[in-house]
Structure 1
Amino acid sequence: MKLKKVFAITLSACLSASMVAGCSTGSSSSASGGAKVIKIGAFEPTTGENGGGGLQELLGMRYANKTHPTVKIGGEEYKVELVEVDNKSDKTEAVNAAQKLVSEKVSVVLGSYGSGVSIAAGQIFADAKIPAIGASCTNPQVTQGNDFYFRVCFLDPFQGTVMANYANDHGAKTAAVITQLGDDYSSGLGSFFKTAFSGLGGNIVSEEQFQTNQTDFKAILTNIKAQNPDIIFAPSSITTAPLIIKQARELGITATIAAGDTWENSTIIENAGTSAEGVVLSTFFDEAEPANEEAASFISGFKAYLKENKQDEIIPAVSALGYDSYLCAIKAIETAGSADGSAIRDALKGVSIDGVTGSISFDENGDAKKDMAFIKTIENGKFKFLTTTTVK
């Protein structure tokens, strides 16, 4: 989006000094016609390896902005302007995208899909005193030591344990783990699954890693086949997932293939075809099980919105989380009664909402207090709800 003329003089200085000076403090302004405006940043990948998932998350934020286009600050109504940047699924580009949001003087940031880019940008937001609310970035490091980062999803230690419990409950005694080298989400979730599964008495018979942009997995899958595991846990991107799934089945591997929340994406089914049948995953939301009235309203309205935008009408969990992150942002802005980032950060600590994915409030680390995950499988070319799971 174009920078407003009123900021033209100061922005050139802020671009280079915003991390150390006060230029990045969130502010409000008047749009043409006199309407007051507050900016919320959408920090998401819309290109690169995670572009598909990032767009789904962004669609939830855009829809939230459509249904909640204004916020009241001190009794006055402000228009919420969603400022979108593409972090390109890349840690270096994430820094550039974060700096752009700082220069745009956003008051709060939403995102990102992908823990690695969220971690990379975290210190920039903290230095600029702009609170960020992650939607689906599940790695614990996103919020650790960062008083300005919050999130509305559950964490990978929980998700890894949930999937280990599921594997154990369904008779799996041996497991293979496949993770992406250098990817915080993949390596973190794989590690948490391994620890939890071993703790339940399971045996990890193979641990394999692959490089970013790798497309041939037959060598590591051949190693896994020789170990004949009951389950393969392979948390990875939606780009990599169908390749792993198809090549595993082509090699005659019959083990259950499982992963985390990133695999709840229809493109995996489209690209893996019948090989995707029986895949199991954990996720944050199921449209067949609305948590409350807000969820029921979201489901019907968002389906219509997806249709208008020529998108698949199956609601991804990350879209619901994107919507909830926006709700938390406007609730915090209203509670703070200010566009100032530090004031909004302080307000977020006490925010409590009934969101689409359930009740949301934050603990001392800025993490959502959540204790339930949805387990789904792929059956007849569709995601099918199996059960909800909690970890005590």
Structure 2
Amino acid sequence: MANSTTNLPLNVGVVGYGLSATIFHIPFITTTSTLKLHSILQRNPSQSGKSAPRDHPGVKHFTSLDQFLADADLDVAVITTPPETHFSFAQQALQAGKHVLVEKPFVPSVSEADALIKLAREKGRLICVYQNRRWDSDFLTVRKLLADGTLGRIVEFETHFDRFRLEKPSTWKGTLGMDQGGSALYDLGTHLIDQAYVLFGMPRSVFGILASQRDGLLLGPQNPDLEPDSVTAQLFYDDGLVVFVRIASVSVETRQPRFWIRGTKGSYRKEGLDTQEPQLRSGLKTDDANFGRESPEWNGKLTLVGDDGSFRVQDCPNVEPETYSKLFELFGEALVRNRQEDLPVPASQARDVLQIIEATKESARSQRQIQLSQ
């Protein structure tokens, strides 16, 4: 059994040593006071490529999951491997008595999510999902606009991840099928649907269109096995709100759209993606004063209606960034207290998002609107 959560910092082991581990997890684990990078599992360290033992000589290194999980000093397993491994690896980690943080997409199916949630409860361990884009600065700005009532009652919410990438990715994002947690729906769609879920909860129903823009094909009766690089989903809510989720691989724009939100008092438009990922890839440190900050040229635009019916347009800079560091801070605090309700992204919420994703797939295949149980 791992150390008691009263012993700080908690020993964290990372499974995998690809982009997710090196860019999105290890830099934050090493700067979170309640956490300590204890070990890394990399099956095949490379002499010329990525090598965890070379990059992190001061921690333990493993090439076998069984040996990694058998370490009695390990408290937390962070799973950063491709999504088809998430269920098996998380299951084994929980059975070994470890707390677990799983990269998104959590698992490929609702049934697998339910099984892990049940196992974590039986073992008295916590399982959290890495939905880091809840801490994008533009999304935090949107949350504040809605919480403050700046836009009034929201009637349409449009959220985009659009790119111009004619070449299919050679990573799992382009090689795994949807049944294994691959495709644009699970990769990028998980982020966008999760953000909509955070803001508005479960929709009443879903209508989805999944396509391969690169190949000019549509998922449906004629192409039942198509793996999409494009998503158009509509989430319908009881108060009349419609959320549009949009992902494109063929979008020739110098300023890609991000948000377009319309309400009874105003609207908000935003272009460009959050800066944290490109900053991390470029080597910017997580404690740098500029981390998470955008240039003013990418400020969003607010259009507000006055009491006399006139429109006023103004810049809307992002709120002060909390950055992805906040997810790890909250995760560490939840582990210290061993409280499920304190987790920044409980697995039960990721399970709800998977239900919306599965409804989107069913809708696209059947070409009809799918009702969701509330």
The TM-score bracket by the shorter chain reads 0.3 to 0.5
Query: TM-score by structure 2 length?
Result: 0.40
Higher helix share: 1
Query: TM-score by structure 1 length?
Result: 0.39
